[in-house]
Structures are given as structure tokens and as C-alpha cells.
């Protein structure tokens, strides 16, 4: 039997469940607002973009060409995978590859929201007329100092802010005898927020009489045919699917 005072597994699950419950209660209006934005994007045949630098790129990937997800989503790649996320001016180089236009929406993911690359990705998209949604941890961001010369943080330049409601430093399980903690929650909660918005977007479209453009698992019988139809509709506008334009 596990010592209850040394049960890291239970402690993490309890912390994560509590945080998810707070997010559902406090962030629901913001999630509903983003779902409405995504609904409008799909109805107007525009695109949803996602971006995360460093570890946040894995969260951005949750939206991109994924079973149970929406098809008109383009994930923006950080070529350095986060190694240059503190380098001001760098984002303008790779953002030129993406044809973001007015009417599109971009979701920029950064738990701290203080590094130049995600901030500049948001500014680039905003300058193109796209709506900016940030997925960030406000408790951490508000206590940290921006590394961008403007002094701005990601949430301050966003049209809608989705707050993961995590703690400063992200990790939640204490390590006895040490000042630091282990086991972050931002990835778990961020993915839950995004998938909840996917679900609401699909319900919004159905309520309006439109079939939501969803992808299904390629490992079910009808998967390949269904997803082929989705790719035929969207691939020419998804920069990396394939990368070459006709």
C-alpha cells in the first residue's frame, strides 16, 4: 500500500483535477468566445493557426491534423524548436512562410508569455488582420518580466486570453527537503482547453446546420476516405501539407 504522505501520483491527480475544475468554472466564457471565433472562421472558409515555441509546440500540435480535431488548422513551426525563443526579431523570418490574412485566427501558446518569439508571432498575425488568442498562465505571466523590448506580455496583445490557471513555475508536487516542485500542469490543462473548444465549435456548427470539418482516426474503416475528402478541401492552404504549392 502506498504511504499517503508520500503518494506523488495521487497528489498530482488531485492537483490537476482541481485545476481543471477551476478552469471549467472560470474560463468557460473565454472558451465559448474562442469557439465562436472558430465557428466564424470555418463558416467564412478561413483558417485557424496554432503556434508554440519550445515545449509549447507540442500543445500547438494537438490542434493540427489530428483524429477528432478540426481540419482547417495550420500549425506554425518554430525551426529552432524553441532554442531561439528569446531572440527578438527572429519570428519575422519564419512567419513570412505563412499566408495569414484578415478573418483568420491564431492561437499562440506560452505558459509564461514573456519571450519575444511568441509575442512577435502574435504581433505579426495581428498586423495581418487575424484575431489573436493566447493560451497562457496568467499567475506566472503577471509575476514575470517581459523579455520583449516593448515590455508587453503575450496576454496584453491578445484579443482573447485563455488562462490555464496554473501556479507560478507550473509544477505542483512538492519534493520533500527541497524548495522546488515537480510535475507541471500547463500541458495537460492546455490540451483540455483546446479540445473542449473543438467540441463546442463542432456543436456550434451543427446547430447552424453545417457539418463540422473534423478528422477521424485513420485506424478505423472509414478513416482514410473521410480524411482524404478533408485534405482535398484544405491542403492547398495548409503550408506544410504538402509544403510545395501547385
Task: Kindly report which listed range (4-8, 98-102, 196-200) carries the lowest average pLDDT score.
Answer: 4-8
Please determine, for residue 230, whether its predicted confidence score (pLDDT) is greater than 80.
yes
Better-scored residue on pLDDT, 69 or 97: 69
Q: Determine the Cα–Cα distance for residues 110 and 126; give it in Å rounded to an integer.
A: 17
Cα(64)–Cα(79) distance, integer angstroms: 17
Q: What is residue 245's predicted lDDT score, i.e. its pLDDT?
A: 40
Over residues 193-218, the pLDDT tens digits come to 999 999 999 999 999 999 999 999 88
Q: Using pLDDT thresholds of 50, 70 and 90, give the confidence band for residue 244.
A: very low
CA distance to 18, 60, 68, 233, per residue, from 186 (Å): 13, 12, 21, 33
Q: Is the peptide bond before 200 cis (omega within 30 degrees of 0)?
A: no
Q: What does DSSP assign to residue 70?
A: B
Give pLDDT, residue 149. 96
- Nine-digit cell at 35? 469557439
Read off the C-alpha cell for 203. Answer: 456543436
The domain segmentation of the chain, as residue ranges, is 4-237
pLDDT of residue 239: 61
In the DSSP assignment, the letter for residue 106 is E
What is 4-237's CATH number? 3.40.50.10490
Amino acid at each position: 500500500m502506498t504511504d499517503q504522505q508520500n503518494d506523488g501520483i495521487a497528489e498530482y491527480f488531485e492537483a490537476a483535477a482541481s485545476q481543471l475544475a477551476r478552469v471549467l468554472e472560470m474560463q468557460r466564457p473565454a472558451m465559448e468566445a474562442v469557439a465562436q471565433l472558430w465557428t466564424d472562421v470555418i463558416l467564412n472558409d478561413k483558417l485557424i493557426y496554432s503556434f508554440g515555441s519550445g515545449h509549447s509546440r507540442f500543445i500547438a500540435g494537438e490542434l493540427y491534423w489530428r483524429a477528432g480535431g478540426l481540419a482547417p488548422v495550420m500549425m506554425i513551426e518554430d525551426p529552432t524548436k524553441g532554442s531561439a525563443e528569446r531572440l527578438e526579431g527572429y519570428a519575422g523570418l519564419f512567419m513570412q512562410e505563412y499566408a495569414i490574412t484578415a478573418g483568420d485566427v491564431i492561437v499562440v501558446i506560452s505558459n509564461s508569455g514573456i519571450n519575444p518569439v511568441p509575442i512577435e508571432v502574435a504581433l505579426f498575425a495581428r498586423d495581418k488582420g487575424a484575431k489573436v488568442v493566447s493560451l497562457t498562465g496568467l499567475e506566472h505571466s503577471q509575476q514575470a518580466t517581459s523579455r520583449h523590448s516593448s515590455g508587453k506580455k503575450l496576454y496584453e496583445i491578445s484579443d482573447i486570453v485563455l488562462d490555464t490557471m496554473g501556479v507560478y513555475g507550473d509544477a505542483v508536487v512538492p519534493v520533500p527537503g527541497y524548495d522546488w516542485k515537480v510535475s507541471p500542469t500547463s500541458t495537460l490543462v492546455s490540451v483540455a482547453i483546446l479540445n473542449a473548444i473543438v467540441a463546442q465549435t463542432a456543436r456550434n456548427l451543427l446547430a447552424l446546420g453545417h457539418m463540422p470539418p473534423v478528422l477521424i482516426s485513420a485506424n478505423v474503416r472509414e478513416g482514410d476516405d473521410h480524411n482524404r475528402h478533408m485534405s482535398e478541401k484544405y491542403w492547398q492552404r495548409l503550408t506544410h501539407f504538402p509544403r510545395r504549392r501547385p
